Amino acid sequence: MSEKPHHRDDEKTGGIQVIARAAKILNALGEQPGGMSLGEIAQAVDLPRSTVQRIVAALDATQWCVATAPAACALGQRCCV
């Protein structure tokens, strides 16, 4: 029974990557005040739609973006302060 070594650098890189991706999504939404579909966001930030959907769900839960229609969102209250 061998355990995979714990790599702290991998965790840091993964954490930084998701923050960078979230920032790219927020920047894309900031350029489109009317909001964007998940597909439009995915194209704008060059990420898979499933990744965008997961990040947008987390941003929505923390009010950084808000759902405007099924599969669409815009910047939320936290971005407008």
The b/e string for 36-70 (b: 16+ C-beta within 10 A; e otherwise) is bbbebbbebbebebeebeebbeebeeeebbbeeee
**Averaged pLDDT, 63-79:** 89
Q: In the structure, what pLDDT confidence band is assigned to residue 62 with cuts at 50, 70 and 90? A: very high
Which residue, among 8, 32, 59, has the nearest Cα to 51 in the 3D structure? Answer: 59
In the chain, pLDDT over 70 holds for what percent of residues? 80
pLDDT band at 70 (very low <50, low <70, confident <90, very high): confident
- pTM here is 0.79
Model confidence pLDDT, tens digit, residues 12-43? 567 899 999 999 999 999 999 889 999 999 99
